[in-house]
Structure 1
Amino acid sequence: MADGDDRQATFGSDGSLETDTTPDATGENDFGEAKEPNETDGGYSRYVVSSLLQKAVRRSDEEVAAWAAWELARSGYAWNLWDRLNLYVVEDLRAGSEVALTVERYEELATERWEPAEWKGRLCAIHAALAAARARSTREASNADAYFSAVAEVRAEARERGEEPAHDFPVGDLEPEGTFDAVFDGHTGEGARRDRGTRFFKTHGARVGPEGEDDQSARWQRLAMLLDDETDYSPADLDRAVEPVDPEAPWGEPGTSRDGDDEAESDRDDRDADRDESGNSSGSLSDFSS
């Protein structure tokens, strides 16, 4: 939750721990004793239980994750629980996991429809923790962040020394005519200066993959290109626009078809002739209208 960060532990000028225990977290523990600041009902430190929850999610230990979530929720630290769980889905789970939406929904139910420390709220906490623990665990985002940050420092230090960096970003200098030439279409200043218009975008920048377009999407793409009264597309252009990228070389091109490239145009014409001879031309509107 948004206010969770405001309640994290801080240290005073003398090194002592400063805490802000919420009213919901006060009262007695399971032993009938007045709870200390940041103590759970079971007599544990909420910081330790919160750390335990994250490690349990990371290790896919469902029972421990469920208990830690339940302990935080019943002890009045639901704000801490939901703040941590939302962090875990971006720090410890595989990108694209639907668990992020699942956790968000359980939090909404526990905090907006019901009381987070009551029975229904505790069930939501357990469900969310179990969902996170059952999801694919990975530190990929954190590892990528640490790696890219380290490379940024290496590059900066190398530039200061006037040397090539020992490690570089995966895109290198990111210049036209390089590996990532397709990104320099009319949407970029460099692409506009090179007069890379709609044809370049359709045949380079708009390609998808490696699964490629499905039959219906490919049909729509071809028809839209054929019906474009401002740009003329050859059969080879139509094929290239919907050809999936190579999973081993996703930035490679099936052919080099840049506007104004005579050699590429010649190669394309040769392919068109071959297709015409085989009777498989793809340049007719009627071929895609059914």
Structure 2
Amino acid sequence: MSDDGPERQATFGVDGSLETDTTPEATGENDFGERKAENETDGGYSRYAVSSLLQKAVRRSDEEVAAWAAWELARSGYGWNLWDRLNLYVVEDLRAGSEVALTIERYEELATQRWEPDEWRGRLCAVHAALAAARGRSTREAANADAYFSAAAEERAEAHERGEAPDHDFPVDHLEAGGEFDVALDGHTGEGAKRNRGTRFFKTRGARVGPEGEDETSARWQRLAMSLDDDVDYSAAELDRAVAPVDPDDPWTEPEEVGGDDGGRNDAGGATDDASPDGSLTDFSE
């Protein structure tokens, strides 16, 4: 498997030669009137080379080359290869959150479910999808993250075997109460439930967003919902804290107490807001 992902419908025989299952749509003659060889496009190119070129052109934002490569695969009967490659781009090279992913999905649906991939409308969908991909924000962030985290995991395991601290570790070392990520250990976790971190803790710490914070409407709804809560009596400071954005330079630090915060108990000092007597996990909205 290459760094661009696996190729579908390709296997190796016992003698090491490449065997392929060429679909009927990809057979016939090329542009020169010659019978096409295995994995040959209508223009006389290797579909492996054209497929790789498509992803590299998209990655480099070369719209014309990307459009041609998509068209060549589509018209040659390799529509499955085209859409496999464009979907690989979505997860390997496209910036997370881009709407281009949905655009490509829609064009694939039209080309393969409403029309035939190698007919005129199917080819237009192929070109449209390739252009949308080439115009998208390309990044290797997901692939780079996977490579980094995998290498760190290996280094971490080797250091553990030696009884030493790793030279490179995960961005999260220990997940423990009182640590950097203490706020994550709310009532949804066993550790948080044991510490009676119920609704009060969740609303004033765990549910905070940032660094942009809640917009005006969402903040108003949050305040009203908390004010109308029959089980917890929130202070003004707690209402403010719940809708305040997190610090972009220090997103994980939370105070031990916020105004009238009593550590997760109700104002009467009785049972916890959400944690069960046996310390089992709570079920409030996460």
TM-score by length of 2: 0.87
Residue 142 of structure 2 corresponds to: 141
Helix, strand or coil at the partner of 1:151: helix
Counterpart of 1:81, as a letter, is L
Gaps of 5+ in 2: 264-286
Pick the structure with more helix per residue. 1
Give CA deviations for 1:200-227 in whole Å, capped at 9, x if unaligned: 0001100001111111111111111111
TM-score by length of 1: 0.86
Output the CA distance in 2 between the equivalents of 1:162 and 1:32: 68
Output the CA distance in 1 between the equivalents of 2:217 and 2:140: 37
Residue 229 of structure 1 corresponds to: 230
> Identity over the aligned pairs, expressed in percent?
81
Counterpart of 1:242, as a letter, is V
Counterpart of 2:104, as a letter, is V
Output the CA distance in 2 between the equivalents of 1:240 and 1:143: 36
Output the CA distance in 2 between the equivalents of 1:98 and 1:248: 29
Residue 71 of structure 1 corresponds to: 72
Output the CA distance in 2 between the equivalents of 1:226 and 1:85: 49
The 8 Å contact of residues 200 and 257 in structure 1, kept in 2 or not, is answered as no
Give CA deviations for 1:247-286 in whole Å, capped at 9, x if unaligned: 1121123x3327655xxxxxxxxxxxxxxxxxxxxxxxxx
Q: Shift of the alpha carbon at 1:9?
A: 2.1
Counterpart of 1:241, as a letter, is A
Matched, 1:51 2:52: yes
RMSD, matched Cα: 1.5
Give CA deviations for 1:91-135 in whole Å, capped at 9, x if unaligned: 011011111100000001011111110110000000000000000
Give CA deviations for 1:149-182 in whole Å, capped at 9, x if unaligned: 0000111111111111111111111111111111
Output the CA distance in 1 between the equivalents of 2:231 and 2:127: 59
The 8 Å contact of residues 7 and 20 in structure 1, kept in 2 or not, is answered as no
Residue 178 of structure 2 corresponds to: 177
Counterpart of 1:206, as a letter, is A
Helix, strand or coil at the partner of 2:229: coil
Which has the higher relative contact order, 1 or 2, with Cα contacts under 8 A spaced 6 or more apart?
2
Paired residues, what number?
257
Gaps of 5+ in 1: 262-290
Output the CA distance in 2 between the equivalents of 1:117 and 1:185: 54
Residue 205 of structure 1 corresponds to: 206
Output the CA distance in 2 between the equivalents of 1:201 and 1:46: 54
Output the CA distance in 2 between the equivalents of 1:7 and 1:91: 17
Counterpart of 1:256, as a letter, is E
Output the CA distance in 1 between the equivalents of 2:197 and 2:175: 17
Residue 17 of structure 1 corresponds to: 18
Give CA deviations for 1:136-157 in whole Å, capped at 9, x if unaligned: 1100000000000000011111
Output the CA distance in 1 between the equivalents of 2:47 and 2:187: 54
Matched, 1:90 2:73: no
The 8 Å contact of residues 111 and 121 in structure 1, kept in 2 or not, is answered as yes
Moved over 4 A (4+): 258-261
Q: Tell me which moved more, 193-202 or 170-179.
A: 170-179
Residue 278 of structure 2 corresponds to: none
Counterpart of 1:23, as a letter, is P
The 8 Å contact of residues 7 and 19 in structure 1, kept in 2 or not, is answered as no
